[in-house]
């Protein structure tokens, strides 16, 4: 029997990489679980945008700084 299932992942809005948990998984059965795993992997969410750990930092005033990444499609 063929069963179709929708899976969810979080993609960095800067570098476009699909975020991965510490065990190598990237897709989950619910949006909530995908968000949870992304946050555990040090993803940062700001104003509905997601950033992987290599794409953001905070300055000395605790302001979010997004690293400039050139994405080629």
Reported pTM? 0.80
Confidence of residue 11 (pLDDT cuts 50, 70, 90): very high
pLDDT digits (tens, 9 = 90+) for 30-63: 999 999 999 998 999 999 999 999 999 999 999 9
Say which residues have a Cβ less than 8 Å from residue 67's Cβ, sequence separation at least 6.
14, 54, 55, 56, 57
Q: What is the predicted pLDDT for the residue at 22?
A: 83
């Amino acid at each position: 029997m063929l069963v179709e299932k929708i899976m969810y992942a979080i993609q960095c809005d800067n570098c476009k990489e699909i975020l991965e948990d510490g065990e190598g998984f990237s897709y989950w059965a619910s949006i909530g679980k995908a968000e949870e795993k992304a946050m555990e992997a040090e993803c940062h969410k700001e104003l509905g945008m997601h950033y992987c750990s290599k794409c953001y930092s905070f300055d000395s005033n605790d302001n979010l700084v997004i690293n400039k990444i050139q994405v080629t499609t």
